[in-house]
Amino acid sequence: MCPGYTRHIGRRSLLARTAAIGLLAGLSPVLAAVVHGASEPKNAVFRRVRPTDPQWPDEASWDRLNRDVGGHLTKVRSPLAACADGPDSASCRDALKDLRNPYFIGDQAGATQTSGWVDAWMSAPSVYAVAARTTADVVAAVNFARENRLRLVVKGGGHSYQGTSNAADSLLVWTRAMNDIVLHDAFVPQGCAVPGEPAVSVGAGAIWMHVYDAVTTKGGRYVVGGGCTTVGVAGLIQSGGFGSFSKQYGTAASWLLEAEVVTADGTVRIANACTNPELFWGLKGGGGGSLGVITRLTLKTHALPEWFGSTYATIEAASDDAFRRLIGAFVDFYAEHLFNPHWGESITIHRNNVLAITLVSQGLDQQQSASVWQSFRAWIAASPLEYRLTAAPLIGSIPARHWWDAEFLKRYVPRSVVSDPRPGALPGDMWWSGDAGQVGWFLHGFESTWLPASLLEKDQRGRLTDALFSATRQWWGVQLQFNKALGGAPDAAVAAARDTATNPAVLTAFALALVVGDGPPAYPGVPGHEPDLDAARLNARAIARAMQELRKVAPDPGSYVSESNYFETDWQRSYWGTNYPRLQAVKAKYDPDGLFFVHHGVGSEDWSTDGFTRLAGR
Ligand SMILES: Cc1cc2nc3c(=O)[nH]c(=O)nc-3n(C[C@H](O)[C@H](O)[C@H](O)COP(=O)(O)OP(=O)(O)OC[C@H]3O[C@@H](n4cnc5c(N)ncnc54)[C@H](O)[C@@H]3O)c2cc1C
């Protein structure tokens, strides 16, 4: 969701220690099972095996798997194991500190970037992980899981908000170490007779920061990927996925040229427009972890524009009426000046009558950007009693090649980034300081909806303004992420996204509206760090009310699969719209027995909520 959407409720929990679950699940399997909904439906017909079952593989079987994967099978340890004896030990304090570092989290088989979501899921380590180095390791893990009826989980960057890359009692395929990056001048997908084009091939465990370093900082080209530096490439591509500049370049999945995939039968397949084309299409936005394990992806790269830039401003209105007019003025200004491929990222409309502008631009130098903003600044300046800029607006551009150049950023805008502080960390391993709040956060609610571009037509803007204002009376803020919708994007970007599994609603929306609430990282069983469930549930209800206000103007809009409500009711239609039956056909062909299960993934309606039990009649 990056960059920079954070809201910390900040109340410390009063929960008793008895809720020892989640990251400590390894220490408390019974309670973990309760939280993860382990109770079996009565109509069970196929059940995966848990460590407590007699069919769980014996030590000799695990040893064989370990040999097959070159010694890369590990027993997964909770990163909070050090806290078992109490939160005050030095080792526990160190663990809690390390868990604020997204690179540290990414390096743990047993951790995830979100610590949990109230009444939805808590991060839980698998029993074993194959820390895969090669495609053959992945094949061995997939075969072992299928043959032994294990719950299989796949994790790359670990950034799933929905908790789909962790599960108690499972075997994890962990791709972190498969992170090779190779640039191509003229890539031709296998089996295709097409002209070669510039591209980058990445291992399934690569994170975007490393890809940007290779493609943009060193290679002088652009690849569409996530705003947050530590998000995994494989997860984002399968999500559909947006970058800060998607209003120009379209969705990340649109530019997938080829993937290598291990399917449920243990076969290594190439998927591209000419070979296994339906599987290829399904990987482009069909959601991670449902169709197979991707081991390598090749993405088209684009010419880099000369400039990338950003515009920051915070405007406070003196009254509710003035704020409503401010929202209306911004909607007018957006529709007339910013609704085009140059502008991305977001604004946040706050309950305390503050409008925060955190936008990025591409292809505009500083002067060009500044001149775009002139009329809006004049409008604010004309009413000094009603509007106050809480800080001078910042409008700037830098040569695009430096956008992810850690050395440049640390030198010229040091406060914008945080470096991985661990000894031996790569010098370029950094994250945006505005994203720090999302590291380990515990979600209270997270809802999103695409807002159709028709709402920007002159006669609709009043309705949109009223809905945005009303939503902020229910919750502290509504964020509009303009880069996560392709209304206003060039035809080529829209056409490419039309050939993906993502809900076609994205093509005609002008923004993805998000309403989110969170608290600090939550670690049940670690006194002083438990989630405040009462506050979280209260906030979840307020978030739902805020979203209801937006749905009054967008009744059937759809939602981005990886940034949406865990409890989405009509999720198949929301995420994929009319594409869902086609995705089901891909699933039936490549994973007919449902080895791959994720919450609200393709085919998951056939399974119990924990993915252990196939439902009767399915
Ligand atoms: C802090 C934060 C910032 C974000 N910023 C953005 C953003 O800027 N733009 C955007 O579009 N989205 C963003 N997202 C959403 C993000 O793109 C998705 O959650 C994405 O799925 C994360 O991928 P991952 O590999 O990091 O996560 P994981 O949790 O490892 O994986 C996500 C899903 O993909 C599956 N998966 C992972 N690797 C593979 C593989 N090799 N083969 C098959 N399945 C696999 C997992 O099983 C899981 O279901 C953000 C999320 C977070 C938490």
- pLDDT digit string, tens, across residues 146-190: 999 999 999 999 999 999 999 999 999 999 999 999 999 999 999
d(CA 301, CA 298): 9
| Cβ 443 vs Cβ 114: under 8 Å | yes
Is the pLDDT assigned to residue 21 strictly greater than 50? no
Would the CB of 441 count as within 6 Å of ligand 1? Answer: no
Q: What percent of the chain has pLDDT over 70?
A: 93
274 CA from centroid of ligand 1 (Å): 26
- pLDDT digit string, tens, across residues 350-363: 999 999 999 999 99
- pLDDT digit string, tens, across residues 290-325: 999 999 999 999 999 999 999 999 999 999 999 999
29 CA from centroid of ligand 1 (Å): 27
**What is the pLDDT at residue 2?**
53
Tokens of 181: 């990056």
- pLDDT digit string, tens, across residues 536-553: 999 999 999 999 999 999
Which mutation among 7, 152, 165 tests ligand 1's pocket best, with the greatest number of atoms within 8 A of CB?
Answer: 165
- pLDDT digit string, tens, across residues 414-448: 999 999 999 999 999 999 998 888 999 999 999 99
Would the CB of 562 count as within 6 Å of ligand 1? Answer: yes
| Cβ 613 vs Cβ 48: under 8 Å | yes
Residue located nearest, by CA, to atom 19 of ligand 1: 160
- DSSP assignments along 32-49, one per residue: HHHHTT-PPPTTEEEE-B
**What is the pLDDT at residue 434?**
87
Quick one: which of 129, 134, 207 has its CA closest to 169?
129
**What is the pLDDT at residue 428?**
94
Instruction: State yes or no: cis peptide before 384, omega within 30 of 0.
Output: no
- pLDDT digit string, tens, across residues 254-270: 999 999 999 999 999 99
Which mutation among 114, 155, 438 tests ligand 1's pocket best, with the greatest number of atoms within 8 A of CB?
Answer: 155
d(CA 542, CA 536): 10
Tokens of 386: 């009603």
pLDDT tier for residue 74 given thresholds of 50, 70 and 90: very high
177 CA from centroid of ligand 1 (Å): 16
35 CA from centroid of ligand 1 (Å): 23
**What is the pLDDT at residue 317?**
98
Residue located nearest, by CA, to atom 32 of ligand 1: 235
Mean pLDDT of the region 506-510: 98
- Of 10-24, 251-265, 377-391, which gets the smallest average pLDDT? 10-24
| C-beta neighbour count of 29 within 10 angstroms | 18
Would the CB of 165 count as within 6 Å of ligand 1? Answer: yes
Is the pLDDT assigned to residue 20 strictly greater than 70? no
Residue bearing the bigger pLDDT, 1 or 611: 611
Sheet architecture: strand order including 170-174: 73-75, 128-131, 170-174, 151-155
pLDDT tier for residue 1 given thresholds of 50, 70 and 90: low
- DSSP assignments along 42-101, one per residue: TTEEEE-B-TTSTTS--HHHHHHHHHHTTT-EEE---TTGGGTT-TTSHHHHHHHHHTT-
Q: String of b and e for 330-340 (b: at least 16 CB within 10 Å)?
A: bbbbbbebbbe
Is the pLDDT assigned to residue 30 strictly greater than 80? no
**What is the pLDDT at residue 425?**
95
Q: What percent of the chain has pLDDT over 90?
A: 90
pTM for the whole structure: 0.93
pLDDT tier for residue 43 given thresholds of 50, 70 and 90: low
Mean pLDDT of the region 568-580: 97
Mean pLDDT of the region 86-108: 94
| C-beta neighbour count of 65 within 10 angstroms | 21
- pLDDT digit string, tens, across residues 211-242: 999 999 999 999 999 999 999 999 999 999 99
